Amino acid sequence: MENKLYIGNLSYAMRDDSLQQKLSEFGHVTSAKVMMDRDTGRSKGFGFVEMGSAEEAQAAIRGLHGQTVDGRALVVNLAKPREERSGGFGGGGGGYRGDRRSY
């Protein structure tokens, strides 16, 4: 996990291939993925990149964190493991909200 990076504050025009190209300046990029909104098809403004080694990941952090790309200051750090989500359909509320009449 020491070679997987979180890249935040990306331009909404950034795509997987352009992210990979940008990070390849710092070493071998195993994978690059810009997260997309499944409904709109628009970038969510962040992504994940897996570098070939921990040293290359650290070089990318030093070289890109805070740098302006497409008018936006990038946030680059080690990706944290995904947290487990609890089961179910997301919390609370339940209940009918179709109109504002009181019952």
Average pLDDT over residues 4-30: 96
CB 79 within 8 A of CB 1: yes
CB 31 within 8 A of CB 5: no
Express each pLDDT in 62-91 by its tens digit.
999 999 999 999 999 999 987 777 765 555
Residue-range domains of the chain with CATH: 4-78 (3.30.70.330)
Q: What is the pLDDT of residue 4?
A: 97
40 exposure class (CB count in 10 Å sphere: 0-12, 13-18, 19+)? exposed
pLDDT above 50 (res 39) = yes
